[in-house]
Amino acid sequence: MEKIILTGDRPTGKLHLGHFAGSLQKRVELQNNFEQYIMIADLQAITDNDVGVVKKNILELMKDYISVGLDPHKTTFLLQSEIPELTEITFYYMNLVTVSRLERNPTVKNEIQQKNFDNSIPAGFLCYPVSQAADITAFQADYVPVGNDQLPLIEQTNEIVRKFNAKYNTHTLKEVEPILSKTERLVGIDGKAKASKSLGNAIMLSDSEQEIKDKVFAMYTDPNHIHVSDPGRVEGNVVFEYLSAFYDKHDHLQELKENYQKGGLGDIYLKKLLNQVLQELLAPIRERRSKLENSEMYSILYEGTQKARSKAQQTLKQIKKSMDLNFFSI
C-alpha cells in the first residue's frame, strides 16, 4: 500500500514564490509516489484571524494549488472545518499535553512573539499544535513534509502519539516522520525578512507580468556596489538568492557570482536575467490560474473533503474504542 502524506496551509492569503520553492514543487513531485492529502487549515487560521478573511482565501488557495500542477486525481484536498471529527480528536488529545509544554513549543513561541499577543494569547492558538496532531493522526499519515520551522510540531505530535498509546495500552496511533525540505525559507525582496504576503515583500504566484518586473527591479542587492566596476557582495544579495532558487543553469550562475564579486557585472544585467527567469516560471501558472473557475475549485475541495472525512471517522472510532469511551453503545 502507498504511504500516506499529509500537508497543509492556513488560508490567510494567496501563495507566493517562497511557498513554491519551499513546499509546492515538492508536493507536485510527491503526489506521484504517495497517497497525498493537502489540508486547508481554516480552523487553525481562525485561532487568530477573522472567519470572513479566512473564508475568502479558501478558493484562491485551491487555485494556487491547481495552477502549479497539483492534480486532484492524485492529491486529495480537504477543508479542516468540514471534518468535525478533527475537532473531537483534538479535544481528547488536549488531556495528553500540558500547558507549559505548549508554551515551550518553539514554533508556537516564535509565532506568539511575531504576532505581538503579549498576555492575550487565545487558548485556541496555544493549542493549535494539538489540533495539528489530530490532523496528522486522523489521516494516519506516515510522513509530513515540513520546513525546519515546523519540526517542533512533528515532535509534539509524536509525543501525543506515544502518550496516547501508553495511556490506553494500545497501538492505535502511529508515529509520523518529517520530510524536510532542502530550501531555507525564501527571503523577501527587501532582504530584511522572509518573504510574506503581509509584509508586502513577496512575489505572489498570481502577480501580473508588470508586478513581477517591478518587484525584481526593487530588490535589495549590495548597497556598496555603486558602479558596475565595483566588486559586489553575493551573500545577502536578494537577486542572487532568487537566482540560486530558480535559475537552473548552475554553471552560468557560478560564473555570474564570480564576476560580480570581482567587479564588472551590473545589477541591471542580473535583474533582467532574474526577471526573465521568473516570468518564464510564472507565466504558465498565471495563465492556468486565470482559467480556473470558483465552482470547479469548490467541487474538488468538496469531493476531497468527503473522502478524507470517512478516513477521519474510522480513526475516531478506533480512538474512542481505545479510550473505552462508548457509554451509549454498551
* Contacts to ligand TRP by CB under 6 A: 6-10, 39, 41, 44, 132, 135-136, 144
Return the number of the residue (90 or 275) whose C-beta is nearest ligand TRP: 90
Q: How far is the CB of 178 from ligand TRP (least distance, A)?
A: 10
**Residue (of 176, 135, 157) closest to 312 by Cα position:** 135
Return the number of the residue (8 or 13) whose C-beta is nearest ligand TRP: 8
Return the number of the residue (41 or 312) whose C-beta is nearest ligand TRP: 41
Residue 314, amino acid: Q
Return the number of the residue (72 or 145) whose C-beta is nearest ligand TRP: 145
Contact 59, 294 (CB under 8 A): yes
Q: How far is the CB of 150 from ligand TRP (least distance, A)?
A: 6
Residue 6 backbone phi and psi in degrees, to 5: -125, 130
What whole-number distance in Å separates Cα of residue 248 and Cα of residue 255?
Answer: 13
**Residue (of 195, 33, 49, 28) closest to 125 by Cα position:** 49
Q: How far is the CB of 57 from ligand TRP (least distance, A)?
A: 12
What whole-number distance in Å separates Cα of residue 135 and Cα of residue 88?
Answer: 11
Q: How far is the CB of 8 from ligand TRP (least distance, A)?
A: 3
Residue number, nearest CB to ligand TRP? 8
Return the number of the residue (21 or 136) whose C-beta is nearest ligand TRP: 136
Q: How far is the CB of 146 from ligand TRP (least distance, A)?
A: 7
Return the number of the residue (40 or 319) whose C-beta is nearest ligand TRP: 40
What whole-number distance in Å separates Cα of residue 46 and Cα of residue 57?
Answer: 12
Q: How far is the CB of 216 from ligand TRP (least distance, A)?
A: 27
Q: Which helix (H) or strand (E) holds 297?
A: helix 294-323
What whole-number distance in Å separates Cα of residue 110 and Cα of residue 127?
Answer: 14
